[in-house]
Structure formats: structure tokens, C-alpha cells
Amino acid sequence: MPNEHRASRDEAPQVMSTLGTAGTKRSARRLLKANAWFVFAFLYVPIVVLVIFSFNDSERVNVWQGLSARWYGEALGNTQVISALRVSLIVAISSTIVSTVLGTAVALALDRYRFKGRRALDGTVYLPIVIPDITMAVMLLVFFAEAFKLIDTFGPRLTLGVTTVALGHIAFNISFVAVVVRARLDQFDRTLEEAARDLYATPWRTFRRVTLPLIAPGIAAGALLALTLSLDDVVISAFTAGPGATTLPVYVFSTIRQGVTPELNAISTLMLAASVTLVVASLALQRPRSTTP
């Protein structure tokens, strides 16, 4: 299926350019339209199926028995689901806050300052984006184990838990936030800061009143990406979690071994609703406001 889809996309412009008459143009346009619909279907039909079947009043996933919200009740009544959801939210929110602050700081430092080790930082800060999840997960696990061994010699008995999951998420989220914020900084006109300085603003107030509001859409987009990635992550969460630190995706992944249940459909639909809400909220945030800043 994916191959078919790619082929049709490549052909369409060619048809457009080689055949110029009105008739062929019209058929080319029809082809493009069909292609667009195909892509939409490819992307969204599974989602629609998931959502529909999450309202299936049946014990078995593939047998439709009528509309019902019973599996939502079931899911929300499941203490394991609720506790996994809690862990997910704690990890996602805390890692997003920390990585947004640190990632923005990294982006600003790389954009503004020439310091020792800048090139090295510039080259490595994006590494977590390209290295495979599994490598990152193993790396973090080894790191935590070694670090705990070292710290434990001074007394405390540290174990993997919610904190280590959050730290793992921060480790990769910083990179994503930095990339997004830096793209925004590239378009930022530095003379605006000079103008603010010239108009009696201290460096800090220049940042607060001019720089920050203007790069805020970038920071918001970065934060949203971090939140989504954190809520979504399975591999790193599974490796860095200890007992009682199971996130929702990890829970879903572990229960799916016993087969897909309608309850999982319901949970997935809820997660989908959450991410769609987040995206819409961020788009609304990023729209230029017409009243006071």
C-alpha cells in the first residue's frame, strides 16, 4: 500500500507537465484529487475504525454488537489504567516543563553566544533525535545503574521509578524543544532587541517584553511536541521504569500480549482525543492575537 501511494504521487506532477491540453489537465487534476483522498483514507480510516470499535458493546473486538460506552466505563474503572494514566501525566508534564526551559536555553545559547565548546554542543545537542530509541533506552538504563551504584555508596538506596522515567524523557525532549525554538530564533530580528535596549529596557526586560513574546509560538510548539512525545513513548519508559512507574503506553503494550480488547480501543481513543485537543490548543495559542500582547 505505501508503495502504491508513493508511485501515484510521483506520477501526478509529471502528467501535469508533459500533457498540456485542457482535457488532460482536467484528468490530471482528477488524478491528483483521487490521490489526495487516498492519502486521507490511508491515514484516517484506521483511526475511524478504532474510534467506532471503541464504542462496540461486545467482548470481542472484531464482532460488532451495538453502540455502547461500556468499555470507556470499564477502562476508567480499571485502577491499573488510572494509575498508569497518572504516571503518564506526571512524567509528561514534569518532563515537558523541564525540557522546555532547558531546550529554550540551549537554543538561545547556540543562537546568541560564541563560547568554548559551542560547536561541540551544536553538533551533539540533536543526537537524541537521531539515535534509535532502543539505544537511548539501554544507554539510560546503564547510566542510571552506574549512577545509583556510585550514589548508593554514600548511603541512599536509589531505584528506578517515576523520576528516572521523567529524566529519560527530559533527555530526549531537550533536543526536540531546542530544534523547534532555534528555527524560530533564526527568523528573529535582533534589531528589535537593540530597539528595546535603546528604549531603556534592561537585558532581562528586553527578554521578557520583546524576545520571549516573539519566540513564544516556537516555545509553545516545542513544549507541545515534548508533551506528545512523552505521552507517546514506550521504549524508553519501559526501560527506565521501576515497579509502580508504568506509563499508559507501556501498560497498553504489556496488556496487548493477551490480545486486543475493546477496553484498549477505548483507552487509545481517549489518548487520541487528548492529543487532538493539545494540537488544537497549540494552534489557537500560536495564532497572532488581535488585542493586547
Cell numbers standing for residue 174: 531537550
How many whole angstroms separate alpha carbon 160 and alpha carbon 245?
8
The answer to the question of residue 187 lying near other proteins (CB under 8 A) is no
**Span of 38-46, 126-134, 186-194, 263-271 interacting with other proteins by CB under 8 A:** 186-194
Is residue 13 at the binding interface for other proteins, with CB under 8 A as the rule? no
Quickly count: other Cβ atoms within 10 Å of residue 134's Cβ.
11
Instruction: Provide the 10 A C-beta neighbour count for residue 257.
Output: 6
Q: Between residues 129 and 195, which has the closer beta carbon with respect to other proteins? A: 195
The secondary structure of residue 245, as a DSSP letter, is -
The distance of closest approach from Cβ of residue 264 to other proteins in the complex, given in angstroms and rounded to an integer, is 45
Cell for 162? Answer: 517515576
Pick the piece of the chain touching other proteins (CB under 8 A) from 24-32, 164-172, 231-239, 285-293.
285-293
We find the least distance from the C-beta atom of residue 291 to other proteins, in angstroms, to be: 9
Looking at the Cβ atoms of 58 and 286, the one nearer to other proteins is 286
In angstroms, the CA 212 to CA 188 distance is 11
Is residue 115 at the binding interface for other proteins, with CB under 8 A as the rule? no
Is 292 a binding residue for other proteins by CB under 8 A? The answer is: yes
What is the SS3 assignment for 47-109?
HHHHHHHHCECCCCCCCCCCECCHHHHHHHHCHHHHHHHHHHHHHHHHHHHHHHHHHHHHHHH
Q: Which of 2, 23, 259, 293 binds other proteins (CB under 8 A)?
A: 293
Only one residue has cell 508533551, namely 227
CB 97, min distance to other proteins, A: 24
**Contacts for 107 with CB less than 8 Å, ≥ 6 apart:** 177, 178, 179, 181, 182, 185
Binding mask 230-269 for other proteins (x = CB under 8 A): ----------------------------------------
If one asks whether residue 215 binds other proteins (CB under 8 A), the answer comes out as: no
155 near other proteins (CB under 8 A): no
Give the x-and-dash track for 188-207 against other proteins (CB under 8 A).
-x-xx-xxxxxxxxx--x--
Q: How far is CA 159 from CA 90, 163, 167, in A?
A: 18, 9, 13
In the bound state with other proteins, the residue whose beta carbon lies nearer, of 79 and 292, is 292
Q: Least CB distance from residue 286 to other proteins, whole Å?
A: 12
Give contact residues for other proteins (rule: CB under 8 A): 189, 191-192, 194-202, 205, 209-210, 213-214, 288, 292-293
